[in-house]
Structures are given as C-alpha cells and as structure tokens.
Amino acid sequence: MNMHFEGSSNVTLLFDFWDVRGPAGMVLSVFVVLLLTVIYELLKVWKITIGKQKQSFITHPSAPVSFSPEASCFAPVMKRQEGSSALTNSPSENSLAATENTAATADTTAAAKKSWLLHCLQTAIHILQVTLGYMLMLCVMSYNVWIFLGVIMGSVLGYFLAFPLLNHI
C-alpha cells in the first residue's frame, strides 16, 4: 500500500466490493464520500441540539402548579346558613395538597423520562457519528487525492449548511 497521496482513479475503499476502477467510479465514490461527510457534520449539530434540549429539562424542570383559593375556579363555595358559614362541594385542603404533590411528581417523572430518552437518542447519534468518522478516516487513508478532497469539501459544505442552524435553536 502506498504511503503517499496519488491521483489515480483506481482505489479500493473500506470494503473489497468498493473497488473503484476508472474516472466514472471515482466521481461517484467522491460524491458518496462527500455526502457521508455532510451527514457526519449534520450528526454533530443534531447531537449538540439534543444536548441543549436535555440541558433545558435538567435546569428548568416543570414548576409545580400552586392553587390559590381566591383565584382558582375550584375555590370553595361559601354558603351562609343562619349566621354560620359552611364549605360545600369543595375538596379539603389535604386533598388539594395531595393533588399538588402528585402533579409535581408526575411533571418531574415525565421530565426525567424525556431527559432519559433524549440521552439515549444522543448516545445513538454519537455511535453513528464515531462510526462514520472512522469510516471517513479510513477513506482518507486510502491516500487518494480525490477521496481526500471529497472528505474535505464534504466537511466544508456540511459545516456551512449545518452550523448556522445552531443559532436558531
């Protein structure tokens, strides 16, 4: 195997079945490598985006809902009966407190589950990114100038297209 770059149109990339012989095969291979590199850059941005979403769940958990008897539509109805007041058709304070705690616990549990799912998705994207990165590195190690330029141009194009999306998140 050559240990210097050459501009030949004959190269074997990654697998025995990806054996390039001729200019048409080289153009197609460079295009495929360019697309794989653009996907690699998009995966980097997607992983960062999911990390930001996950961080927002961790730093801003859902706040528990508090009930105010004055402002609530479920406020106790006061009835005057012969100089005494009685609460009718309203839950007791204990049951309201239990409802508040249950709602806060449900919100926290839902946020933790969503954070866990985002973490699993981020891990899967990381696995794809590392695998694709090593495959692209092995393509470059074919020491073919055209494949190397395909990886470089794909990285430039992917960065140009993907990283402005981070400002909109």
- Burial category of 157 from C-beta neighbours within 10 Å (exposed 0-12, middle 13-18, buried 19 and up): middle
Neighbours of 79 (CB within 10 A): 11
Per-residue pLDDT tens over the stretch 102-149: 666 767 787 788 888 999 999 999 999 999 999 999 999 999 999 999
Tell me the mean pLDDT in the region 152-161: 96
Amino acid at 134: Y
Per-residue pLDDT tens over the stretch 13-62: 888 888 899 999 999 999 999 999 999 999 999 999 888 887 776 666 55
pLDDT of residue 64: 47
Per-residue pLDDT tens over the stretch 57-108: 666 655 444 444 444 444 444 444 444 445 555 555 555 545 556 666 767 7
Answer for the pair 85, 78: CB distance below 8 angstroms, yes or no. yes
At residue 144, φ and ψ (nearest 5 deg) are -100, 130
pLDDT of residue 89: 52
At residue 118, φ and ψ (nearest 5 deg) are -65, -35
Residue scoring higher pLDDT (59 or 156): 156
pLDDT of residue 77: 44
Token representation of residue 22: 């001729």
> Per-domain residue ranges for the chain?
10-61+74-168
User: What is the C-alpha separation between 14 and 148, in angstroms, rounded?
Assistant: 14
pLDDT of residue 72: 42
End-to-end alpha carbon distance in the chain: 46
Of 76-80, 154-158, 164-168, where does the model show the most confidence? 154-158
pLDDT of residue 91: 54
